[in-house]
């Protein structure tokens, strides 16, 4: 999926938090958000730099308050701009993120994992610091608590970069019909079979061994005897 197709898909499904979204759709739209925000900031900066009077008013608190009082419509304009940003960027990004997590067979609630890790880290540091004496070991534990949100954020970023599950999952069909199948796992890491599955697998192995013996080993043994 290309840049414009990803943006079109994001807006076409702006209120759809079900189904799945491929990696290209998510990251192309993320780039679009960065470009829009960057261009808006550059435009505001150029406009402010081109008006020395406006810069002076922005740097003087009293003049700025008087200017805002005299231009009360700016509050409405700011509200409209915020609502536009909310609908134009934040809502599509939210639903797209949920669908991207669905593509990896994870619930949309997973997006709160870094926030939950941050809250737990702060609570852990607070309770530990309240009851522990200052020492090297205590400082190391506090640092470890502080690293938990960082590790959670890194893992969240990695999840957003992971390929989607091959084929359908609990959130819907595969958005990439011709997705390459994952390579088979090494037998050493294959899950252990139990019950009827184990018996069926063992019977299959015996049949393969017997077929190999009859087709490969037995003819080589009988040939010298025939001569």
193: left (phi over 0), alpha (psi -120 to 50) or beta: beta
What's the rounded Cα separation, in Å, for the pair 65 and 199?
81
Residue 158 clears pLDDT 80, i.e. is over it = yes
Residue 155 clears pLDDT 60, i.e. is over it = yes
Identify whether 95 is part of a domain: yes
Identify whether 143 is part of a domain: no
Both 195 and 97 in a single domain? no
Between 147 and 216, name the one with better pLDDT: 147
Tokens 């700011």 sit at which residue? 78
- How large is the average pLDDT for residues 203-210? 85
Identify whether 176 is part of a domain: no
Residue 220 clears pLDDT 90, i.e. is over it = no
Structure tokens belonging to residue 91: 């809502």
Between 50 and 100, name the one with better pLDDT: 100
- Domain hosting 59: range is 1-105
Identify whether 52 is part of a domain: yes
* The model scores a pTM over 0.75: no
Identify whether 145 is part of a domain: no
What's the rounded Cα separation, in Å, for the pair 123 and 129?
10
The pLDDT tens digits for 184-196 are: 656 666 667 677 8
Tokens 């609502």 sit at which residue? 83
Confidence of residue 55 (pLDDT cuts 50, 70, 90): low
SS (H, E, C) 177-227: CCCCCCCCCCHHHCCCCCHHHHHHHHHHHHHHHHHHHHHHHHHHHHHHHHC
Between 59 and 122, name the one with better pLDDT: 122
- How large is the average pLDDT for residues 71-80? 62
Last residue of a domain, one of 105, 121, 155: 105
Tokens 């192309």 sit at which residue? 28
Identify whether 16 is part of a domain: yes
Q: In the chain, how many domains are there?
A: 2
SS (H, E, C) 43-67: HHHHHHHCCHHHHHHHHCHHHHHHH
> What confidence score (pLDDT) does residue 68 get?
61
Last residue of a domain, one of 105, 139, 163: 105
Last residue of a domain, one of 56, 83, 105: 105
Burial class (CB within 10 angstroms; exposed 0-12, middle 13-18, buried 19+) of 192: exposed
Identify whether 177 is part of a domain: no
Tokens 């796992």 sit at which residue? 185
The pLDDT tens digits for 79-134 are: 667 777 777 888 999 999 999 999 999 999 999 999 999 898 888 877 776 665 55
Torsion of CA 179, 180, 184, 189, to 10 degrees: -60
Identify whether 182 is part of a domain: no
Give the dihedral sign, CA 181/184/189/192.
positive
Structure tokens belonging to residue 143: 């640092």
């Amino acid at each position: 999926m290309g840049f414009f197709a990803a943006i079109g898909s994001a807006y076409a499904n702006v209120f759809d938090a079900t189904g799945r979204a491929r990696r290209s759709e998510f990251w192309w739209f993320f780039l679009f958000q960065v470009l829009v925000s960057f261009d808006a900031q550059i435009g505001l900066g150029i406009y402010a730099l081109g008006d020395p009077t406006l810069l002076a008013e922005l740097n003087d608190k009293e003049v700025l308050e008087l200017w805002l009082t005299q231009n009360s419509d700016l509050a409405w304009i700011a509200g409209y701009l915020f609502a536009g940003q909310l609908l134009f960027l934040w809502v599509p990004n939210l639903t797209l993120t949920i669908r991207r997590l669905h593509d990896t067979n994870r619930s949309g609630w997973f997006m709160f994992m870094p926030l939950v890790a941050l809250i737990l880290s702060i609570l852990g540091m607070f309770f530990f610091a309240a009851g522990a004496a200052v020492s090297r070991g205590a400082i190391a534990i506090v640092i470890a608590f502080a690293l938990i949100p960082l590790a959670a954020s890194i893992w969240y970023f990695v999840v957003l970069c992971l390929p989607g599950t091959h084929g359908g999952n609990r959130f819907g069909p595969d958005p990439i019909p011709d997705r390459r199948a994952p390579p088979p796992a090494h037998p050493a890491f294959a899950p252990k079979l139990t019950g009827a599955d184990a018996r069926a697998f063992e019977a299959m192995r015996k049949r393969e061994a017997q077929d190999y013996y009859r087709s490969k080993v037995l003819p080589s043994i009988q040939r010298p005897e025939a001569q």
